[in-house]
Chains A and B, each alone.
Chain A
Amino acid sequence: METIIFKASIDTENRIMTDNYEIREAIDKETISAVKSVGETYKYGFSTDIETEYAPLGLNEDIVRLISKKNNEPKWMLDWRLKAYNRWKKLKQPDWALLKIPEINFQNQYYYARPANMKEKPKSLEEVDPKLLETYSKLGIPLTEQKKLAGVIEENAESGSTDRKVAVDAVFDSVSVGTTFKEELKSAGVIFCSISEAIKEYPDLVKKYLGSVVPISDNFFACLNAAVFSDGSFVYIPKGVRCPMELSTYFRINAENTGQFERTLIIADDNSYVSYLEGCTAPQRDESQLHAAVVELVILDEAEIKYSTVQNWFPGDENGVGGIYNFVTKRADCRGTKSKVMWTQVETGSAITWKYPSCVLKGDNSSGEFYSIAITNNMQQADTGTKMIHLGKNTNSRIVSKGISAGKAQNTYRGLVQIGGRSKNSRNFTQCDSLLIGNKCGAHTVPYIEVNNSSARAEHEATTSRVDEDQLFYCMQRGIGEEDAIALIVNGFCKEVLQSLPMEFAMEAQKLVAISLEGSVG
């Protein structure tokens, strides 16, 4: 839906229209100036010079024990990890995706790294190393409670519509650095902390739900994560509570030759609601690094989780050197009746992306939505999509995927829609659009649809198009420069997905879309 309402009308109405317009205007201006001002493509490529403590190189049972010990975990947690590790040893890395993955030597990297002065987790934000605070503020994530997350437009603050607080949990390499607004959230009954803290302080909740959505041996990378995950975020929204602010986790990989394995667990109890944002960046390095995360969402009766990701890991350089291998398992379990989940992802980074945020629609009348923009430029590869597993009656799912390929990149949408025999009157709608820029890239769409009862309905629409010369010429004849014209056309192509993001992220994402396609023509 267009935010601009164009109507000649009375004064008050005009005022409203102008306000709406200001918002849009700010976004558009931001997009264009971002394209212009950014000299190099990846602006988060700096590294923080901080003394880092590593676990010994490689992976074995002792490393698993060490990680558990570093986090002062109870025995049940260590046992869980060891079970995962022993299972993982027997698993094989999946090879069914349309990806060329260089052989990964799992014994030649570090599984745990933390800033040396983080032996004791800082009790408050005041105790956090200023170098770390500086890193986050450079990334636009101020770890103070006075400021808002970067990207909130100042001029719009007056209207109050975006003057919202965002609580941040910042994860630096293997540890959580700090969590903001904890007290304020606590008074609303919301638990928001690092998962290592939750294991100690809320063991009953963690025991009950950890691994209940993504089991230990779900897949190779999830199993590895279960064995070695070091930190991540934990959220519990109690019955009937609408979380008073947006929650977010910002993941930063800093240490060299180190994998990041974080684990996120979010539980929305009956009739609750939370919107959660996730951002990620890493320094520019010649060595590839592994990121294998697991995100589990549990949604009970009539609860709703909105989970948004802007993934901007270092994508490698234009020759494909370096970059993050992003192998992530994300799954939402809609256990309750009328429960709802919405995944929105903007994937612009990583050398390789292997990621399928999924929805298991167990509860009757539950619904799952997946909105995705995946941009690949230069030598990037992405195989991403979703799974919608319909088990309950009258369940609904919607998939909108926009893949954009430029340079020599390969971009695949892979999706499964499965409607079970008892899932009567269930519906799915899938739309997959691919946009090609230039003639050396590829776009692929691999939809799997399995419907096991006759009352269900699944629809699939797919298109592939390119940014054509005529569209560019038309924009340019109206005075718009080539890079701005591409940003405009691509943002138009992604519009449906951008609109499903929270305001703060929408702006960030729109800029990112423009930046990641810089230099893709001409």
Chain B
Amino acid sequence: MLKIDNLKVSLEEEEKQIIKGLSLSINPGEFHAIMGPNGSGKSTLSSVLAGKDGYTVDSGSVTFEGRNLLEAEVEERAALGIFMAFQYPIEIPGVGNMNFLRTALNSQRKTRGQEELNAADFLKLVRAIAKDLEISDEMMKRPVNVGASGGEKKRNEILQMCLLEPKFVILDETDSGLDVDAMKLVSKGVNNFSSSSRSFLVITHYQRLLNYIVPDFVHILVDGRIVDTGDKDLALHVEETGYKDFL
């Protein structure tokens, strides 16, 4: 599904290489986790996959279902089925959640040549998802992420994911700022959403989240390279000993 081949990425402003030859292949249905110390390039990787400005790809390639992902615009990538749950979800004052969700969904459908969803079907769909994630009516009426707590924002990200039905999901430090209850809710949302045709890339500092979202593969990212790959036990090992073994 997603194939990253010897990717090298620098920051646009200061010619500093952050990702220094990273290869990773993700098949449908797989959960991959990337762990690493601060500054190892985790966030850069998710930004480059989503298409954020400010990075230069020095060499290497990223293909998604056979297509050169690096040439696609941000919104095209979204329509192809790539979704990123933000570490710090953005506030958009004055834009209601429902308006935002509907615009996003129908923009994607339009890009894919599908018909737009009518209001009644849309409402029904959103309601069902919100209920599962215990997102209140009051929260849905608010502008996007404005006045929401950290936990509410993260649940809102998961709601967007469930609605947009992507094929490939990047969870960028989704566990940061979550208490145990919120983490359980978010994980439940992710697990319910998983299927044999969907893949996940979970980026995290801590092993904690991986108790709830159990990865098939754990990769250790240090200084822009994957230095070790294993199963969930590798994450437990890191939790115990830290990253010093890999430095």
3 smallest A-B Cβ distances: which pairs? A492-B94, A492-B95, A479-B108
Could you jot down 5 A-B contacts, CB within 8 Å? A477-B51, A478-B160, A480-B103, A488-B103, A492-B95
Is A5 at the interface (CB under 8 A from chain B)? yes
Contact A7 to B92, CB < 8 A, known contacts A477-B50, A477-B74, A478-B104: no
> Are B98 and A479 touching (Cβ within 8 A)?
no
**Quick check: which of A15-23, A260-268, A278-286, A383-391 contacts chain B, the rest being far away?**
A15-23
Complex contacts, A492 vs chain B, CB 8 Å: 92-95, 143
> Are B94 and A491 touching (Cβ within 8 A)?
yes
Contact A473 to B127, CB < 8 A, known contacts A2-B96, A489-B95: no
Q: How distant is the Cα of A473 from the Cα of B73 in the complex, in angstroms?
A: 11
Q: How distant is the Cα of A21 from the Cα of B143 in the complex, in angstroms?
A: 16
- Please give me the residue from chain A that is nearest to B130 by CB atom: A6
> Are B93 and A28 touching (Cβ within 8 A)?
no
Is B220 at the interface (CB under 8 A from chain A)? no
> Are B92 and A474 touching (Cβ within 8 A)?
yes
> Are A494 and B94 touching (Cβ within 8 A)?
yes
Contact A2 to B141, CB < 8 A, known contacts A474-B89, A474-B90, A492-B94: yes
> Are A6 and B79 touching (Cβ within 8 A)?
no
Task: Show the binding face of A for B, using Cβ within 8 Å.
Answer: 2, 4-8, 14, 17-18, 21-22, 24-25, 28-29, 32, 469-471, 473-482, 484, 488-489, 491-496
A159 to chain B, nearest CB (A): 14
Is B235 at the interface (CB under 8 A from chain A)? no
Is B67 at the interface (CB under 8 A from chain A)? no
> Are B95 and A488 touching (Cβ within 8 A)?
yes
> Are A491 and B95 touching (Cβ within 8 A)?
yes
Q: How distant is the Cα of A488 from the Cα of B105 in the complex, in angstroms?
A: 14
Q: How distant is the Cα of A482 from the Cα of B53 in the complex, in angstroms?
A: 13
> Are B111 and A479 touching (Cβ within 8 A)?
yes
Interface of B is mostly: helix
Contact A4 to B92, CB < 8 A, known contacts A17-B123, A473-B52, A479-B164: no
A304 to chain B, nearest CB (A): 27
Complex contacts, B50 vs chain A, CB 8 Å: 473, 477
- Please give me the residue from chain A that is nearest to B99 by CB atom: A28
> Are A476 and B95 touching (Cβ within 8 A)?
no
> Are A484 and B119 touching (Cβ within 8 A)?
no
Complex contacts, B94 vs chain A, CB 8 Å: 491-496
Complex contacts, A488 vs chain B, CB 8 Å: 92, 95, 99-100, 103
Residue among B75, B116, B140 making CB contact with A481, cutoff 8 Å? B75
B107 to chain A, nearest CB (A): 5
> Are A477 and B103 touching (Cβ within 8 A)?
no
Q: How distant is the Cα of A489 from the Cα of B91 in the complex, in angstroms?
A: 10
Contact A471 to B90, CB < 8 A, known contacts A4-B98, A17-B123, A488-B100: yes
Interface of A is mostly: helix
0/1 per residue, B136-168, Cβ < 8 Å to A? 010011110000000000000000100010000
> Are B52 and A489 touching (Cβ within 8 A)?
no
> Are B103 and A6 touching (Cβ within 8 A)?
no
Is B78 at the interface (CB under 8 A from chain A)? yes
Contact A476 to B141, CB < 8 A, known contacts A6-B98, A18-B119, A495-B94: no
Complex contacts, B77 vs chain A, CB 8 Å: 477
Residue among A6, A32, A479 making CB contact with B75, cutoff 8 Å? A479
> Are B84 and A6 touching (Cβ within 8 A)?
no
Is B42 at the interface (CB under 8 A from chain A)? no
Which residues of B, 21-58, contact A by the 8 Å Cβ criterion?
50-53
Q: How distant is the Cα of A470 from the Cα of B77 in the complex, in angstroms?
A: 17
Can you name 12 extra interface pairs (CB under 8 A) apart from A32-B107, A478-B104? A2-B96, A2-B98, A2-B141, A6-B141, A8-B127, A14-B123, A474-B90, A475-B92, A479-B78, A479-B108, A480-B103, A493-B94
Contact A477 to B78, CB < 8 A, known contacts A21-B123, A25-B119, A492-B95: yes
A344 to chain B, nearest CB (A): 17
Complex contacts, A479 vs chain B, CB 8 Å: 75, 78-79, 104-105, 107-108, 111, 164
Q: How distant is the Cα of A504 from the Cα of B118 in the complex, in angstroms?
A: 22
> Are B102 and A28 touching (Cβ within 8 A)?
yes
Residue among B53, B95, B105 making CB contact with A473, cutoff 8 Å? B53
A44 to chain B, nearest CB (A): 27
Q: How distant is the Cα of A2 from the Cα of B138 in the complex, in angstroms?
A: 10
Q: How distant is the Cα of A480 from the Cα of B92 in the complex, in angstroms?
A: 14
- Please give me the residue from chain A that is nearest to B136 by CB atom: A6
Which residues of B, 55-76, contact A by the 8 Å Cβ criterion?
73-75
Contact A8 to B160, CB < 8 A, known contacts A474-B90, A479-B78: no
Q: How distant is the Cα of A6 from the Cα of B123 in the complex, in angstroms?
A: 8
Q: How distant is the Cα of A25 from the Cα of B93 in the complex, in angstroms?
A: 19
Residue among A4, A7, A481, A494 making CB contact with B107, cutoff 8 Å? A481
> Are A24 and B99 touching (Cβ within 8 A)?
yes
- Please give me the residue from chain B that is nearest to A36 by CB atom: B110
- Please give me the residue from chain A that is nearest to B111 by CB atom: A479
0/1 per residue, B103-133, Cβ < 8 Å to A? 1110110010000100110010011001100
Complex contacts, A477 vs chain B, CB 8 Å: 50-51, 74-75, 77-78, 83-84, 86
Contact A475 to B137, CB < 8 A, known contacts A6-B98, A6-B127: no
Q: How distant is the Cα of A2 from the Cα of B74 in the complex, in angstroms?
A: 29
Complex contacts, A481 vs chain B, CB 8 Å: 75, 107
Q: How distant is the Cα of A479 from the Cα of B73 in the complex, in angstroms?
A: 10
- Please give me the residue from chain B that is nearest to A20 by CB atom: B119
